[in-house]
Amino acid sequence: MEWKEEDPGLPIKFGPCSNAEYDPVPLSPVLTETIRRAREECERNARRVGMDRRKFLLSMCGAATTLFVLNACTREASRKPVGGRYSVTPEATVDPDVAREQLGGEEFVFDIQGHLLEYDLNPATRGQSYFGQVFPQQNCGEEDPRACFSIEHFLELMFLRSDTTMLVLSALPIAPEGSPLSMEVMEETRRVSEALCRDDRVLLHAQALPNVGELKANLTAMEEMVADHDIVGWKTFTNYPDLYAHNGDAWRFDDADPNLAQVGEAFIDKAIEVGVPIICAHKGLSRGSPYATPDDFGKAAKKHPRAKFVAYHSGFEATTMEVPYSEATASVGINRLIHSMKRNGIGPNENIYAELGSTWWYVMRSPDQAAHVLGKLLRYVGEDNVVWGTDCLFYGSPQDQIMAMRSFEITEEYQERFGYPKLTKEIKNKILGINGARLYGVEPVTDKCEFTRRELEELRLSLPGKNETLGPRTTSEARAFVDHHEGWPG
């Protein structure tokens, strides 16, 4: 497939976009100005260093230029000191070695929330409805647009276009029968990766929906899943299927609501019994469902110390502003997770974890919010229990998220005012990979498939493709995605 575009887009992707679990938010005036000014600066810096525009936009200097402009635009628009910033210097915008020093790295990157959509590309079924047909990724250039969500595209985005060296494939909130991310699809992805990379860098979750159907049968299915598949954890949704049907069909881990299915305790006990006690649950990004709250985590974690509870998205809501934790703000966004922990006597670095998928992509565009998100999670959940996830392929390659994390810092003022820790390289390395490896009890895979980091960087400059988000970019696209199946593949 010949690639002819000259403008791959800014290397830090600002959207709008979503993972279809929230409506994409239109660009703020600050981001609109950032994009305008960053394009001008990238054009100017490309000429200055004698590089064509496309290669500059795909380079670390391009990323440094974009983050440098975001810093400036954020400061100019704020009436008060901003609590977060990206540690990039003017030199990094034009000197590849300086840019690599500030945005590059050789640390272990373990993404515990990856998704793909794999379809049977039978020509006879082309044109039929499919799960990803409302995503912009369908326009990737493949003859059959369903191929744009394939295993090959996913592995390319994760392992060639980013510094990710290990990942967990995690289930989506859709029914398992005929799902484009079924256990069979996950297993096939793992086999492809093993053949390509000759190691075990792709791990698998199993989907668990204990409130759908008969509980006894669901618990038996968990036993069979462990017997038949090498899984590292469970992915579940306490708001499923209520998030589609809005009918109250949901559940809680602590079984505290007698009006909901009483399946939480039984599910946790079975997870422990079968030897897979890592429970990953969608918490936050609720799209109006009250059952995605992390409020049930604290009590369940206190009662079941042998289980590990991972709050995917950390309780973040795209519709609210993240603010410092206090009793007065305990019902807002991530603060709900913190409040649930404090109320039940769960301290930092115990058996509750916070995952950053979608959350970091959303707040990295707003340095002040990003400072509160990371600062709160590190202070209350613990520097050993904040784990890296990106929700990609919905946001395209996660490389821009990785570079942003490497260079982000919380100001001394916010450290002093709110008790947030300094974002040292050690803490960032923990977030990006070490914490996830410890959570799952695996040895880090640090080698790229076949290339050195420097060779991969050069390869990314020549690979066809763009710096693009791939999930829904407008409210109508996100709503169409949800309405098309309501959780059930068509």
* Confidence label for 22 from pLDDT (cuts 50, 70 and 90): confident
Q: What is the mean pLDDT of residues 223-237?
A: 98
Domains of the chain: 1-490 (3.20.20.140)
Residue 110: C-alpha distances to residues 14, 25, 388, 394, 436 (Å): 23, 28, 7, 17, 7
Measure the CA–CA gap between 65 and 267, rounded to whole angstroms: 49
Whether 244 has a pLDDT exceeding 80, the answer reads yes
Please write the tens of the pLDDT for every residue from 359-414: 999 999 999 999 999 999 999 999 999 999 999 888 889 999 999 999 999 999 99
Please write the tens of the pLDDT for every residue from 177-202: 778 889 999 998 898 888 778 899 99
First to last CA, the chain: 29
CA 193 to chain centre: 20
Residues sharing a CB contact under 8 Å with residue 45, sequence separation 6 or more, in sequence order? 56, 61, 62, 65, 93, 94
Please write the tens of the pLDDT for every residue from 140-191: 667 777 777 778 788 888 998 999 999 999 999 888 777 888 999 999 889 8
* Confidence label for 448 from pLDDT (cuts 50, 70 and 90): confident
Whether 288 has a pLDDT exceeding 90, the answer reads no
What's residue 125's pLDDT?
46
Q: What is the mean pLDDT of residues 195-218?
A: 94
| Cα dihedral sign, 414-415-421-424 | positive
Q: Coil, strand or helix: which one is 207? A: strand
* Confidence label for 106 from pLDDT (cuts 50, 70 and 90): very high
Measure the CA–CA gap between 431 and 387, rounded to whole angstroms: 5
> Which residue bears the tokens 């793992």?
190
What's residue 452's pLDDT?
45
Range with the poorest average pLDDT among 122-136, 230-244, 413-427: 122-136
